[in-house]
A and B are shown apart, each in its own frame.
Chain A
Amino acid sequence: MADFIDFCGDLVKQAIRKGADEAEVFLTSGRESEVSTRLNEIDTIKEAATRGLGIRVIKNKRLGFVYSTDFLEDHLSQLIDSAIELSAEASEDEFNGLAEPLPNETTDLGLYDPRIRKLSAEAKIDLCRRLEKTMFAYDSRIVNSEGAHFLDGESNVTIVNSRGISDSYNSSYCYLYCVPVAKQNGLLQSGYWLSFSRFLDRLNSPESVAEIAAERTIRMLGAKVPRTCNAPVIFDQLTGASLIGAVLLAIDGDAIHKRASFLVDKLNQVVASPLVNIRDDGRLRGGPGSAPFDGEGSPTADKEIITDGKLGTYLYDTYTAKKAGARSTANAQRDYSSTPDIGGLNFYLQKGPHSPEEIIGSVKHGLYVTNLMGFGLDAVTGDYSRGAAGLWIENGKLAGPVEGITIASNILDMLKKIEMVGNDLGFMGPVASPTFKISQMTIAGA
């Protein structure tokens, strides 16, 4: 992708020539495709080649930013003028500055599979039909569908800045999911399951994905509202990942600096049970969140975030690191239309020794939560309250579906009450978790 590097490099030079002290161009370009079937008929075929670029300039310690999807030379030249003019509107900030080039290992992270783009629309439609066929065959109560979907794409990310960073990488992805709708006694339930991979041959089979989706839907039929109580709550892979995502938000170096996080002033302190080990690994081979460098061009790494319950680091980009007197952890994340925010790479709770069955078996009365709804996290206090649905556990066995409930606690309390961690870690997205058990939460129902 030398073309893009040269193209971005020329824009950086132009910005400097026009008076910027520092300049950076971040460009993404690629294609995306989506195919879906519903009730065995083709529903949607979407295909696009897409691109965009963002230009950050710093002049007199002031920051201006512009982006565009229009790459005409004259228009980009006007845009650079705008960026420099806009920088004059911003305040002087001594911490403004772009990333410095650092040596970066050029190991293959397994992010690009050239076979994905060769997959024909017919082959994708066939995968979708197999998803729906399996899910309808699973149980006669599955009577409808929000469709079977196959999405894929590939992109090139290029970054060039005036301090000497000039880098580029390609990645690809594909995923499939289906949404069965089941009916019993006139009432509907829907569910879903998915598989994600950067390589076509590592995607789970449509049959295995559809069976899980069907099972997750069927088992919710006849859901009741349980009585309000305090009880243990087991999070599965999907709902667990959402809770681990809340930890990710709380260690954002920008939120920490603004004291807008429940993990302020907690560095090197115990914030979770000793069973909790969380990593952020930008170099996981084939990982959904893997990348050789972050949104500013800094080389990514594998980091211990929480080790045996102790918080080891916050996450920074170049700007927030300077403010905190720390080094960037290469967690700048962005697309072309924004300046960097802080985000995770492959951010996950490490697996523990227990099978999900053992964890369920350890609960006398409690909730196995498989679906979370709505918002309900106060990022500053850690107060947590979410809509939930799942399966009730009686004497170590799944006893029946429940819905119409909320689960509530404070995240710091929840992290300390994690008393079993499962061995079933799997990456369905960049934030991942195995099954785990929290010894007590408040469940509001009838």
Chain B
Amino acid sequence: MANNVIGPGDQAPDKPEYIDQALDSHRIERLLSIALSRGGDFAEIYFEYSITSAIALEENKLRQAQTGIGQGVGIRVISGDKTGYAFAESLDFENLKSVANVASHIAHSGRSAGIPAVSAAGVVQALGEPLQTVPSHVAAKAKADLLWRANQAAYDKDSHIKQVNASFVDSSKFFRVANSLGVMLDNIEFICRLNVGVVAEKGNVRQSGYHGGGGRVDFSYFNTLTPEAVALEAVRQAIVKFGAIKARAGPQTVVLANGWAGVLLHEAVGHGLEADFNRKKTSLYSDRIGQKVASALCTVIDDGTIPYQRGSINIDDEGTKSTRNVLIENGVLRGYLCDHLNALHLKTKSTGSGRRESYRHYPLPRMTNTFLMAGPYSPDEIFASVKKGFYAKSFGGGQVDISNGQFVFEVTEGYLIEDGKITAPVKGANLIGSGPDVLEKVVMVGNDLKLDSGIGTCGKNGQAVPVGVGTPTCKISQITVGGTAIEGQSLAEGEV
């Protein structure tokens, strides 16, 4: 692949050279002191320079190639639980001083924390071995090759495939974060994702399938997760739906497939353990540390330090080193995900969970890679234990209401389980429940923990960040399945 790497001079650098003058330690100290000029407990400067590239194939054509630069500075002041935030795209120093001044207005005490001297930027060490071939440095042609291969594989696999849409998106993100505690760090992160969507048509019935993968990986990752494999999985998902029966509505025993089904944990408990909701006491998990919130089989981890995983981060967007956090241990709630502001309030330490979409946003406590630890059972044992139930193999998105714990997620590939065997494919199902209730009903946990292939994006308060999820195969004794088929029931009998 070496011939695909653009040499120095062709490629825009991941770190813009001009930043060392535009935002050196003296200027940063000056901005921090303006930010704290009206008082406040903490001030922070966040500079970001992101390059995002994308190439898309549809209808046997490379529709377009694109690249873009997102550059800006966000300045934050914390005063008690209050946040002042301002941002701008221009690096002009006079302009930045006025941005700092806008942010300063949140504080009125007149008493500010002193500002220690900020040293020259420390450079953050990346998780794992450095990438040999950074996807963002690879020529568009090599990425286009992946798309052409996926396209060919999908059409070759099944004559019912009528449309193939494939895309490769990658970005590099440089940020410099400095704060009134004297911290100044430079960090570079890379991320990429290959996506393949297909539409199949039989007669006048159409079905779609999707698969994708990536992460903070080397470009050679796609020698392992080949575009052909991604395409064939998308084709398989579309074709299987032709034979699918309608989902039976109502409470059922459900087996979750390993991998992406971990999105259930992300929704059912993860969001409820983010510290902002618990500082405000608006989560049903507020004030419950040390209490039993799940079956004893459940140990839930949020780990941002797994090399190359999509949800991993070297440091969070406040400069705190990423960590492995035990959220639930053998069913007992152990901790929340904390950023700096909420850690101050809760008199604890940041868990390295302060993340933001870009310089346009202040950080919030967020998940990284969230997963259920493996248990003792083989998947075969788990299936064999179910006489009648539902197998949720692949999922779309999910959502949770923090206050009452209600969560829902969409099943994009599901099957009936009959007498311990996976039988007919099922379409149009959704799973709904409340977090603590469902986690209490986790009755078997498999020994086959798997993380997802690198496609997750989590949204909160209008901010999207990449995340990972994972789970072993596991069995939930009862959860409500949404669908259109009702067993042995006539119309309009429902009552509360």
Contacts and interface: CB of A to CB of B under 8 A. Distances in A.
5 contacts: A65-B66, A90-B64, A258-B163, A374-B430, A408-B430
Secondary structure class of chain B's binding surface, majority of residues: strand
A144 B402 CA distance: 13
B230 to A, nearest CB: 18
Interface string A71-89: 1000100110010001101
Interface stretch (A102-110, A186-194, A341-349): A186-194
B64 A442 contact: no
Interface residues of A, number: 98
Given A66-B67, A374-B408, A387 B493 contact: no
Nearest to A67: B68
A64 B64 contact: yes
Interface residues of B, number: 89
B495 A227 contact: yes
Nearest to A227: B494
Interface of B: 12, 55, 58-59, 61-72, 81-90, 99, 102, 105-106, 140-141, 144, 162-163, 165, 199, 201, 204-208, 241, 247, 249-251, 280-282, 284, 360, 362, 396-404, 406-410, 427-430, 432-434, 480-486, 489, 491-496
Nearest to A179: B282
Contacts of B106: 42, 45
Contact of A405 (B69, B163, B427, B480): B480
Contact of A445 (B90, B105, B250, B280): B250
A233 to B, nearest CB: 11
Given A48-B88, A258-B58, A408 B495 contact: no
Interface string A245-261: 00000000000001110
A86 B428 contact: no
Given A374-B410, A385-B410, 19 more contacts: A42-B106, A65-B66, A67-B69, A69-B69, A90-B55, A90-B61, A90-B64, A146-B280, A228-B494, A231-B491, A373-B407, A373-B432, A375-B409, A385-B483, A405-B480, A408-B483, A442-B484, A442-B485, A446-B251
Contact of B208 (A41, A260, A444): A260
A385 B495 CA distance: 20
Contacts, number: 301
A88 to B, nearest CB: 8
A399 interface: yes
A121 B105 contact: yes
A225 interface: yes
A65 B52 CA distance: 12
Interface in A376-409: 376, 378-381, 383-387, 389, 392, 394, 399-400, 402-409
Interface string A220-264: 100111111111100000000000000000000000001110001
Q: Give the top 6 A-B pairs by smallest Cβ distance, nearest first.
A: A406-B482, A387-B408, A229-B494, A444-B249, A374-B408, A67-B68
B148 to A, nearest CB: 10
Contacts of B102: 47
A402 B114 CA distance: 53
Given A46-B85, A68-B69, A405-B432, A230 B486 contact: yes
Contacts of B491: 229-231, 440
Contacts of A379: 208
Nearest to B10: A85
Given A93-B61, A260-B208, A66 B68 contact: yes
Contacts of A67: 66, 68-69
| Most chain A beta-carbon neighbours within 10 Å: one of B65, B89, B362 | B65
Contacts of A65: 64-66
Interface string A196-226: 0000000000000000000000001001111
Nearest to B478: A446
A365 interface: yes
A181 interface: yes
Contact of B481 (A42, A410, A444): A444
Nearest to A400: B496
Contacts of B432: 373-374, 387, 404-406, 444
A164 B36 CA distance: 49
A375 B247 CA distance: 16
B206 A260 contact: yes
Contact of B250 (A71, A82, A374, A444): A444
A408 B426 CA distance: 14
A366 interface: yes
Interface stretch (A49-57, A275-283, A291-299): A49-57
Contacts of A394: 495-496
A44 B106 CA distance: 8
Contacts of B64: 63-65, 86, 90, 339
Given A65-B64, A365-B495, A373 B406 contact: yes
A440 B70 CA distance: 48
Contacts of B144: 89
B492 A189 contact: no
Contacts of A87: 65
Contacts of B429: 385
Contact of A189 (B61, B205, B398, B404): B404
B63 A93 contact: yes
A170 interface: no
Contact of A224 (B428, B493, B496): B496
A50 B65 contact: no
